[in-house]
């Protein structure tokens, strides 16, 4: 990629030398030649490893090169760039000696799309930190939208840099429906095939209820999501932390389903303590390390995964007071048997989606818990019986 960009810049330099050597009046007259434009763009496109086209081409040796309705597509289809307008401003005096010194590059209404789930739309950028050898471009950008996997941000502003074969975005801020995004860094290595990347971002504050599909009226408190990821091509991996401030459990379909499974336990509207969950991402699947949500009477322990396309598979262990439980198909005696200090841990399985959850009792685990308790009771009785028998056998004789 670096070699291709360098070659492109020297191609422009050579063209400038030819034109300036032809006649001085070209300094003051724009050249609008479709044939010349197609030839130049074809050569640049091949050097860049793809196809470069523009509806309109105009070269003015004093004002620079202006392209309209520009489109570049890499041969492997992994990178596509379009722009309503691309303007290259150069130093006119340098052209007289056959050199190109670019002082500013403007991109208007651009779209940059990588085959890694990343896209910039409505891009307006002005790059003024430009070095030709080795090639380096840097400057500020604004974009109507920025897409990072499932996150779609609007009104993005930040910093852009291309150097050493790497495309970097830094401190890009945008507004998501789920909260305020800060893309701390996105680094794409364009010299790799497929391109590999690493990124780090945070969403702070995070609209937790919107993230969970509950709208603005849900009861969860505001949160914060911090994430670091890496990948190559279509591969996505990463890890992060989700923190949620105190609030009240919402009257959502999920907690209604949990209440139905537990019988007499009320969850919706219950105040909960702040909680934190560690997570990892592979492709579209987010896996949560075990974490707990605590209310004044109930502890919910979650463990499992959620797919970004909708499906989920979570194990939920609910620790609740025995008198608040009435499980369909489970004898009260079994709950009494597994009760410990007045509390029972109920194993549940959550599948379906957040909007259409299915909660089922893990009866096998509950029965195993009962057998374990029964086994311990039998062992205690055996130990007591053996103790009494040994006491009689070995005790003092009268």
What residues does each domain of the chain span? Answer: 2-289, 290-398
Distance of CA 69 to the CA centre of its chain: 31
Q: What SS3 class is residue 43?
A: helix
Which CA distances in Å does 311 have to 52, 240, 291, 307, 347? 41, 20, 20, 5, 20
Helix (H) or strand (E) holding 382: helix 363-394
CB 197 within 8 A of CB 231: yes
Residue 66: in which H helix or E strand, if any?
strand 64-74
Query: How far apart are alpha carbons 68 and 74 in whole angstroms?
Result: 19
Per-residue pLDDT for the chain (398 aa), expressed as one digit of tens each?
555 544 444 444 444 444 444 444 444 445 566 676 677 677 666 766 678 888 888 877 677 778 899 898 877 777 788 999 988 887 766 666 666 677 788 899 999 887 677 899 999 998 888 776 677 788 899 999 999 877 899 999 999 888 888 889 999 999 999 999 999 999 988 788 778 889 999 999 999 999 888 887 789 999 999 999 998 877 789 999 999 999 999 999 999 999 999 988 889 999 999 999 999 999 889 999 999 999 999 999 999 999 988 999 999 999 999 998 888 877 788 777 778 889 988 889 999 998 899 999 887 777 776 565 444 443 444 334 434 433 444 455 55
pLDDT of residue 339: 81
CA distance 143 to 124: 6
- Tell me if 204 sits within 8 A of 179, measured CB to CB: yes
Paired strand residues for 141: 125, 158
Q: Which helix (H) or strand (E) holds 313?
A: strand 312-321
In 114-266, alpha helices (H): 208-211, 253-262
Instruction: Name the residue with tokens 């523009």.
Output: 54
| Cα 322 off chain centre by | 41
Q: In angstroms, rounded to a whole number, what is the distance separating the alpha carbons of residues 388 and 398?
A: 17
Phi, psi (deg, nearest 5) at residue 18: -65, -45
Cα gap 43→13, rounded to integer Å: 13
- Tell me if the pTM is above 0.85: no
Query: Could you write out the DSSP letters of every residue in 77-117?
Result: SSEEEEEEEEEEEE-HHHHTTT---EEEEEEEEEEEEETTT
Contact 201, 181 (CB under 8 A): yes
pLDDT given for residue 239 in this prediction: 97
Nearest to 116 by CA among 238, 24, 286: 238
The residue count of the chain comes to: 398
Torsion sign, CA atoms 47, 51, 52, 55: positive
Q: Give, as one character, the DSSP assignment of residue 322.
A: G
Rounded to 10°, the helix 2-22/34-48 angle is: 160
User: First vs last Cα of the chain: how many Å apart?
Assistant: 101
Beta bridge partners of 302: 291, 316
């Amino acid at each position: 990629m670096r070699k291709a960009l360098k070659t492109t810049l020297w191609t422009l330099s050579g063209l400038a030398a030819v034109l300036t050597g032809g006649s001085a009046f070209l300094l003051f007259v724009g050249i609008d030649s479709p044939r010349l434009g197609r030839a130049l763009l074809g050569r640049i496109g091949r050097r860049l490893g793809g196809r470069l086209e523009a509806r309109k081409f105009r070269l003015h040796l004093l004002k620079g090169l202006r392209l309209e309705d520009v489109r570049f597509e890499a041969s492997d289809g992994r990178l596509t760039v379009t722009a309503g307008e691309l303007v290259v401003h150069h130093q006119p005096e340098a052209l007289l000696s056959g050199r190109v010194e670019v002082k500013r590059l403007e991109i208007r209404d651009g779209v940059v799309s990588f085959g890694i789930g990343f896209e910039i739309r409505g891009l307006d950028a002005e790059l003024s930190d430009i070095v030709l050898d080795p090639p380096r471009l840097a400057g500020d950008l604004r974009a109507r939208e920025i897409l990072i996997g499932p996150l779609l941000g609007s009104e993005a502003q930040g910093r852009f840099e291309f150097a050493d074969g790497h495309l970097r975005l830094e401190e890009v801020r945008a507004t998501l429906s789920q909260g305020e995004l800060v893309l701390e860094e996105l680094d794409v290595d364009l010299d790799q095939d497929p391109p590999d990347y690493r990124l780090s971002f945070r969403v702070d504050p995070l609209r937790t209820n919107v993230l969970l599909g509950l709208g603005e009226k849900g009861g969860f408190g505001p949160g914060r999501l911090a994430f670091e990821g890496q990948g190559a091509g279509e591969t996505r991996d990463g890890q992060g932390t989700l923190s949620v401030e105190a609030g009240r459990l919402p009257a959502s379909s999920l907690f209604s389903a949990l209440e139905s499974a537990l019988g007499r336990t009320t969850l919706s509207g219950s105040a909960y303590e702040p909680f934190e969950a560690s997570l990892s991402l592979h492709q579209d699947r987010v896996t949560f390390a075990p974490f707990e949500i605590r209310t004044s009477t109930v502890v919910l322990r979650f463990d499992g995964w959620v797919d970004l396309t909708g499906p989920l598979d979570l194990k939920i262990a609910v620790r609740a007071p025995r008198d608040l439980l009435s499980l369909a198909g489970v004898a009260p005696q079994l709950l009494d048997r597994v009760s410990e200090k007045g509390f029972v841990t109920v194993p549940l399985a959550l599948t379906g989606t957040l909007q259409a959850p299915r909660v089922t009792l893990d009866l096998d685990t509950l029965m195993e818990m009962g057998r374990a308790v029964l086994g311990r009771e039998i062992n205690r009785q055996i130990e007591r019986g053996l103790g009494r028998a040994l006491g009689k056998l070995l005790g003092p004789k009268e």
